[in-house]
């Protein structure tokens, strides 16, 4: 992921791993996300804050899925990118928008449920489908702008590859890497904090017989648990590998680990992409159950 041919080359084993991950992710992810989106549009009668956030999250995931065939083709290192730098920048933006858009929307889902459970008296003031829509649109604008701007600055204009081959300046940009790591760490802390407190609050209310759990009320709990587990599994390894690779490229770690850590980045990025498939499966199952309960 730097400027030289040797350092940008994708290992054969990594290419095989990417195919094994990306092909089922693309096919199954597209199926489950489209089914979940269809249920949100045509089967959910009452539009709520959670369903608003879910719909935007599903759209983010579908946008990433669109880029995967191009990413698979781009990783054939013997081929040069032939669709032009503009198309490359657009596809890379779709790709990274999904990752950080999903992170922000996942945080929104969790905080929305936290407010609803912890502060029921203020939830009607702080929460509404319209406010959720505005927040999601702001997330789209911020992430699109930040992703596109960063890619335009970091892309090596002489490099004839896409989705990799970023300039050496990428790994010298301390502010960018610190910002990406802070976004993930703070998001992980917020999601974990909100999830734990919500579950503890619900458990306490159940024990005090102040809260009766029905099948329909299991929906937000399942959304939160699925959101937390998917978040940590998908994004944790990538941000760890990003930090380690940044350290080795800036001589904080021995250069002997450069190749291994580059492979770690590429593999963990594949794992991060399973987020769009896991989200689709989780939300499809939750929505399917919710539709049955509300009939």
CA–CA separation, 131 vs 108, rounded Å?
11
- The mean pLDDT values, 10 residues at a time, for the chain of 295 residues are 46 84 93 91 82 90 89 70 78 83 90 88 88 94 78 57 68 83 95 89 69 52 75 93 90 85 90 89 77 64
**pLDDT tens digit string along 105-117?**
989 988 998 998 8
User: Residue 76: which region, alpha, beta or left (left: phi > 0; alpha: psi -120 to 50)?
Assistant: beta
Write down the pLDDT at residue 6. 44
**Per-residue pLDDT at 1:** 38
Looking at residue 78, its pLDDT comes to 53
Query: How far is the C-alpha of 292 from the C-alpha of 155, rounded, in Å?
Result: 49
pLDDT value of residue 93: 80
pTM attached to this predicted model: 0.84
Look up the CATH number of domain 5-293.
1.20.1070.10
Cα–chain center distance at 205: 32
List the chain domain ranges. Answer: 5-293
CA distance 286 to 230: 14
Confidence (pLDDT) at 99: 85
CA–CA distance, 159 with 71 (Å, rounded to integer)? 16
List, for residues 149-174, the tens digit of each pLDDT value: 666 555 555 556 677 666 666 777 78
Find how far residue 35's CA is from the centre of its chain.
19
Task: Please choose, from the candidates 292, 293, 277, the residue with its C-alpha nearest in 3D space to the C-alpha of residue 35.
Answer: 277
Of 123, 129, 131, 132, which is closest to residue 105 (Cα–Cα)?
132
Tokens linked to 279: 């989200």
Total H helices, total E strands in the chain: 10, 0
């Amino acid at each position: 992921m730097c400027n030289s041919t040797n350092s940008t080359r994708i290992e054969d084993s990594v290419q095989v791993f990417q195919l094994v991950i990306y092909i089922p992710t693309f096919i199954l992810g597209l199926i489950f996300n489209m089914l979940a989106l269809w249920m949100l549009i045509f089967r959910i009668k009452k539009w709520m804050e959670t369903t608003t956030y879910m719909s935007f999250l599903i759209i983010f995931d579908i946008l990433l899925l669109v880029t995967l065939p191009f990413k698979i083709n781009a990783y054939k290192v013997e081929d040069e990118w032939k669709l032009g730098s503009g198309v490359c920048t657009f596809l890379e933006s779709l790709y990274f928008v999904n990752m950080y858009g999903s992170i922000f929307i996942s945080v929104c889902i969790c905080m929305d449920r936290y407010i609803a459970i912890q502060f029921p008296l203020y939830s009607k003031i702080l929460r509404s489908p319209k406010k959720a829509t505005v927040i999601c649109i702001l997330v789209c604008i911020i992430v699109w702008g930040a992703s596109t701007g960063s890619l335009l600055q970091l892309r090596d204009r002489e490099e004839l590859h896409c989705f990799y081959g970023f300039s050496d300046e990428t790994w010298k940009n301390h502010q960018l890497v610190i910002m990406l790591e802070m976004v993930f760490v703070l998001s992980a802390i917020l999601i974990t904090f909100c999830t734990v407190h919500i579950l503890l609050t619900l458990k306490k209310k159940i024990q005090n017989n102040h809260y009766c759990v029905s099948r329909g009320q299991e929906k937000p709990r399942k959304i939160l648990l699925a959101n937390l587990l998917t978040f940590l599994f998908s994004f944790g390894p990538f941000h760890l590998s990003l930090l380690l690779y940044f350290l080795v490229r800036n001589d904080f770690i021995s250069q002997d680990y450069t190749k291994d850590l580059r492979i770690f980045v590429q593999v963990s990025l594949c794992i991060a992409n399973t987020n769009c498939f896991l989200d689709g499966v989780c939300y499809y199952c939750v929505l399917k159950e919710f539709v049955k309960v509300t009939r």
